[in-house]
Chains A and B, each alone.
Chain A
Amino acid sequence: MARMKFLCDADRCIECNACVTACKNEHDVPWGINRRRVVTINDGKVGERSVSMACMHCTDAPCAAVCPVDCFYTTADAVVLHSKDLCIGCGYCFYACPFGAPQYPRVSNFGSRGKMDKCTFCAAGPEEDSTEAEYAKYGANRLAEGKLPLCAEMCSTKSLLAGDGEIIAAIYKERVMQRGYGSGAWGWQTAYRETVDV
């Protein structure tokens, strides 16, 4: 079974923010919510890097682990989705997520945030596929239409990859081999130092 993953090739990202704009337009995302963001480090300096970030659809999702109403579920193709009918907007998932993916439509003096919103890997939610009700709550369901997330499909520099994890990892590996260097985020040694035995 294919596992859906995002992979951003930081050597190609030019911080154009087209992925952010395309996502907002495709899903009619309200003001104040960005399901995807471009994060830039060392901005304006030598070694500047930009990475497009959204929900990474974790295998053991921390958002799901802390949700008091258990509104998260993982689909058979490893996409982490949630039910807005059950969400109480407590904000625990926001604190738990290492990527800052969960977003909330409201801020009030009494802490009510509204229903959480996040990237759905263009797979919408638990409602019936490609219905108006589904679109109103979660946005378009491109996966059901036989397409991939729009942010990746329209990336002009082919930096953002989405789809079957094994296939996009192979595409990225081929790029690294061709270049002769990685983006500094390739391999277990990056995260766990040289001493890790894999």
Chain B
Amino acid sequence: MQDERQSALSRRNFLRVFGGASTTAIAAATLAPTEAQAYDPGEEETRARYQETDHVKAFYRVNGYPKEK
């Protein structure tokens, strides 16, 4: 009877110790302070796409009043 109880406690202790250790390890890994990784777009993403092409100039011209010649 005593042996049975002893073995049951050991098993529980083992799970307690093992479970506690793994939880602590996971918490330490996830909660450890790491540097913030904000999105930093490169020069290619932020470069100006706008070009004053003939197409764009025509848009400006037709939206304004006709210029006197």
With beta carbons under 8 angstroms apart, the residue of A146, A161, A167 that contacts B51 is A146
Q: A92: CB under 8 A from chain B?
A: no
Chain A residues with a Cβ closer than 8 Å to the other chain, count: 37
Q: A1: CB under 8 A from chain B?
A: yes
Chain B residues with a Cβ closer than 8 Å to the other chain, count: 20
Q: A174: CB under 8 A from chain B?
A: yes
Interchain nearest-CB distance for A163 vs B (Å): 6
Contact status B45-A126, CB under 8 Å: yes
Contact status B56-A73, CB under 8 Å: no
Q: What per-residue 1/0 map shows which CB atoms of B24-59 lie under 8 Å from chain A?
A: 000000000000001101000111111111011001
In the bound complex, residues from chain A placing their C-beta under 8 Å from that of B64 are 170-171, 174
Could you say which of A16-24, A27-35, A74-82, A101-109 contacts chain B? A74-82
Please, how many angstroms separate the alpha-carbon atoms of A192 and B48 in the complex? Answer: 32
Q: B60: CB under 8 A from chain A?
A: yes
